[in-house]
Amino acid sequence: MITSELIEGMKESTRTSTPSSGAKPKGDGEICLRPSSSVFLGDQQLYFTQEYLATNSLNMKYVVYFAACQFSGPIAVIYAAPKSWFIWIRTISGRILKRDLPCTDPVFIDWTRAHCLLVLSKNGRAQVLSSIGEKVSEVFFDNQVSDVHECRTFATSRGDSGIAVMDVDGQVAVVNSVSEPVIWSMRPPYSELPTAWTAFQPHSQLTHILLIFEAVFLMGCQGESLQVQNHASVWVDSSTKYVKCVVDDARSRIAMMTENGKIQIVSIDLSTCFCTVEVTEHDIGKCINFGWVGNSVVFVQMSSSLTVFVNVSARRKPGDEVLVYEKMTANARISVEPDGIRLFESTRVEFVEAASREKIAVLNRSLNEDGAYLYKAAQEMEQGTGHNSFAASTVIQDMYKAIDDCISTACDTWQPEEQKLLLKAARFGMAYTNTTPDTTKLMRAIKEIRVLNELRMVRTGIPLTHRQYRIIGDTCIINRLIDMGSYSVAIKVAQWLGGENCESVDRVLLEWVRRSISKVSRSNMKMDQPALEALDEKISAKLLQFPHVSMADAARRAIEAKLPELARLFIRRETDDESHVAVLLQLNDVSAALTKAAASQRPQLIHQVVRHLMTSESRSSYELAISRIPLAQCLYQDLVRQEGETRGISSRQMLALLEQASDFERQTLFHFDVAEIERNPSERLNALRRAKDAAKSMGDKAIEEILNDVSAFAPLQIQRGQADMSVRDTIIEIADDTAKVAQLKQQARLNDKQVLLWTIEGLAKKGKMEQLFDLAQKRSPIGYAPFVKACVRYKRNEEVNKYFAKANGYSDLVAANLAKKNYVDAAKLAYDRRDREVLHAIHMKSHDDPVQCPRVKQLLNSMDQA
């Protein structure tokens, strides 16, 4: 069951306190928590929710151009001043994000779905701004069109917005995506301007342009010419002219308005008319705004003081009464949302929505609605009349549906007290279910309501509805908060939605770091050492509160802002050696990177620095730097050997450095590497002798003795004509001749185990299966995994299972399974032994098999959690 702490946590996020006039931020309104009012418009119920009051800073009376971002985003207004225009950007609650942003000859503003403000000037140049007024990009229509007449924005299937611009000659220039502007144009066949037009992009289709010349409909899409839509004649009223057309949010229907007050709802392809309504009480043909309210209601704004709502439900029948509701406003501007409209007045903001089925059923206590009975039962319980509560709950037929209805209604309501009571109703209903209740929906609803209530606060000013929240999702909400600079709220929301260590928290913090550093770098502030240290303290103090966030990422942001000294201050606090070294390399501080890598005792980091040195420094410089660090020098030798440069200038310089440093150990290794890859027998022998001399100078008797034996063996190899073959290759070649193998074993002083391994490999390679089987009949001192491995390597598949069956013992079975690439079976053996080291090694080997790797990983995780 759900604990009361979860609802109490939601309760804390909804509490508001009215700040004193002295502490109140300038320009903010006040949140309104009064119950919503509603009216019925036939089968539709409209809810009017006052979201914010005292929004005097909006100054709607003096606004020339107005635009509100969909999904309860910011609003932008343009005021006119003598010989100049200024843009102000605010949240819906009135909090100012940008003020007095100058613009030139604006004729249109609107917001894209990417949370950017589009400002179109008279000459056809469009500026794209962020939500805080920073310039993002520009779109130039001025080469395509003459002076702008009208403009339309439209949603795309990619979730972005496009824009269509009509000039005074009737030509339409279109950009399918503001973020990737590619302009195409379309010219109508008539000289006069259309009486109505729109642009839209049906799902998974090209952008369409609809032009209406009185009662003649023309439509075309990109790459095609405009065509007369003759099939629309079945519903078109040719006796009048069409003056408005608006596409719904689902991009499946168009609302048409005629000059004589008729509203028609038609399909997106103009083939079907779903509904026709004629409004006679008002001359709606002269309205100033027209659009959708949800799916079955349209609004007609007659003036800034009167808005009319009309029911256009598809369930209406010809001859039914026209259902109209009039609402008086004061200097109102309207923004359209996917689920309603928002009225911006001089002193308040109000949201109008068509209620969902669940909300109508529960809050209106509809007869025969289980959700209404459950809500009533919860109210009775809250009032202390338990017997009435029990009586109400016994009437419920489908308790699961009642619970879902109460949860859905709680998400759709604005007032916290009502939300809590509806959630208690859902929790109350779970006590009467026949099975263990699934609390997933309730848990999710509590989390989402907590987020919504936080976003609706005046300090944030994003009064999202639950339906809008579900459309844009968690990531988009966090992105919008970042865009608006509301970092503390973004972190709080990210933690509620994804936990303390979620990636969204990292993203918010790093964007805050980037913007903080960019702000300082763009300012005229003198960036001396004390100023840099103060900025480092400020940023580090915040980031260190979140241990999972890397200080190296902050250092990279400083590098991007061309503040390397700040990056060095950040990187001092980085605890991860790999990130530390990577940033030092970005700063081109190679000596510090090499020192840090060597101190970490991690060869891969040293390898990374050596590679960087080889690509960025001269050979003499980096070899001198490498010679000071023994481990780096050893790795460099390995790199040189792998690249086949040992005999070039590089090898001579490296040898000179080793001799200069009297590093006999690495001299020995160097000469031995030369002997290993040298093809000339005499040169190989000389390299071995030089290695022996270096080992003697080093004073290592054991190595000297080994090299002495190898030096003595080399001439014998030359005599046999096998000078270009290693001892291993020689034994593999003669594996089927036991006498020669025994002779070579004595000459090279090899141990029994090594000879046996190479003999097994040689017999498998040459296909001597009978000899190999005879060898396996004796008790193998090295197990049977080498037999399996050799047969697998040389594709003796018919022999593999024969030797696999002989494998016994833990180590032998693991090795045999690995040879057959049975990673899961090998992992199970290691898991049963609780051998984490072997299990980890098996997991690393299993990466080349995408089917087995996840199962091995699961076993490894199970062991870690045990």
Give pLDDT tens digits for 574-601.
888 888 888 888 887 877 887 888 787 7
CA distance 120 to 126: 4
Who has greater pLDDT, 385 or 169? Answer: 169
Average pLDDT over residues 765-775: 83
In a domain, 600, yes or no: no
Q: What is the pLDDT of residue 309?
A: 96
Closest CA to 249 of 200, 209, 208: 200
In a domain, 418, yes or no: yes
Residue 395 identity: V
Written as six digits, the tokens of 429 are 């209903």
pTM: 0.68
Q: For residue 467, what pLDDT band results from cuts at 50, 70 and 90? A: very high
Average pLDDT over residues 782-792: 85
Of all helices (H) and strands (E), which one includes residue 430? helix 416-430
Q: What is the pLDDT of residues 309-351, one digit of tens each?
A: 999 998 888 778 899 999 998 889 999 999 999 999 888 899 9
In a domain, 397, yes or no: yes
Residue 383 has pLDDT above 50, yes or no: yes
Who has greater pLDDT, 752 or 412? Answer: 412
Residue 144 has pLDDT above 80, yes or no: no
Q: What is the pLDDT of residues 741-753, one digit of tens each?
A: 787 777 667 778 8
In a domain, 734, yes or no: no
Is residue 642 classed exposed, middle or buried when 0-12, 13-18 and 19+ CB atoms within 10 A define those classes?
exposed
Residue 129 has pLDDT above 70, yes or no: yes
How many angstroms separate the first and last alpha carbons of the chain?
A: 28
Who has greater pLDDT, 650 or 60? Answer: 60
CB atoms within 10 A of CB 687: 22
Q: Judge contact between 291 and 341, C-beta under 8 A.
A: yes
In a domain, 773, yes or no: no
Q: For residue 245, what pLDDT band results from cuts at 50, 70 and 90? A: very high
Q: What is the pLDDT of residue 23?
A: 40
Residue 9 has pLDDT above 80, yes or no: no
Written as six digits, the tokens of 581 are 């070294």
Written as six digits, the tokens of 751 are 């141990």
Q: What is the residue-wise DSSP string for 735-798? A: TT-HHHHHHHHHHHT--HHHHHHHHHHHHHHHT-HHHHHHHHHS--TT-SHHHHHHHHHTT-HH
Q: What is the pLDDT of residues 173-231, one digit of tens each?
A: 999 988 888 899 998 988 899 999 999 998 878 899 999 999 999 999 988 889 999 99
Residue 604 has pLDDT above 80, yes or no: no
Q: What is the pLDDT of residue 683?
A: 67
CA distance 209 to 199: 5
In a domain, 204, yes or no: no
User: Mean pLDDT lowest for which of 627-631, 718-722, 790-794, 861-865?
Assistant: 718-722
What distances in angstroms separate CA 166 from CA 176, 184, 430, one per listed residue?
15, 12, 58
Q: What single-letter DSSP state applies at residue 285?
A: G
Written as six digits, the tokens of 372 are 């209404």
Q: What is the pLDDT of residue 775?
A: 81
Q: Judge contact between 113 and 95, C-beta under 8 A.
A: no
Mean per-residue pLDDT of the chain:
82
What percent of the chain is predicted at pLDDT more than 70?
83
Average pLDDT over residues 660-667: 60
Q: What is the pLDDT of residue 73?
A: 92
In a domain, 385, yes or no: yes
Is residue 66 classed exposed, middle or buried when 0-12, 13-18 and 19+ CB atoms within 10 A define those classes?
middle
Residue 248 has pLDDT above 90, yes or no: yes
Written as six digits, the tokens of 722 are 């096998």
Residue 180 identity: E
Q: What single-letter DSSP state applies at residue 661?
A: T
User: Mean pLDDT lowest for which of 668-677, 733-742, 744-753, 849-858?
Assistant: 668-677
Residue 856 identity: V
What percent of the chain is predicted at pLDDT more than 90?
28
Structural domain containing residue 399: 356-429
In a domain, 374, yes or no: yes
803-807: which pairs have CB atoms within 8 A and are 24 or more residues apart?
A: 803/776, 806/776, 807/783
Who has greater pLDDT, 296 or 616? Answer: 296
Contacts of 387 (CB under 8 A, 6+ apart): none
Average pLDDT over residues 58-76: 87
Phi, psi of 400, rounded to the nearest 5 degrees: -65, -40
CA distance 480 to 733: 70
What distances in angstroms separate CA 145 from CA 125, 135, 662, one per listed residue?
10, 23, 79
Q: What single-letter DSSP state applies at residue 533?
A: H
Residue 293 has pLDDT above 80, yes or no: yes
Residue 473 has pLDDT above 80, yes or no: yes
User: Mean pLDDT lowest for which of 216-230, 454-468, 664-678?
Assistant: 664-678
CA distance 165 to 142: 10
Residue 514's SS3 state is: helix
CA distance 74 to 93: 9
- What Rg value do the Cα atoms of the chain yield, rounded? 39
Q: Judge contact between 401 and 409, C-beta under 8 A.
A: no
Q: What is the pLDDT of residue 682?
A: 67
Phi, psi of 237, rounded to the nearest 5 degrees: -90, 100
Contacts of 721 (CB under 8 A, 6+ apart): none
For tokens 């903001």, name the residue: 349
CB atoms within 10 A of CB 794: 15
Number of domains within the chain: 1
Average pLDDT over residues 535-553: 83
Q: What is the pLDDT of residues 12-43, one digit of tens each?
A: 433 333 333 334 444 467 888 788 889 999 88
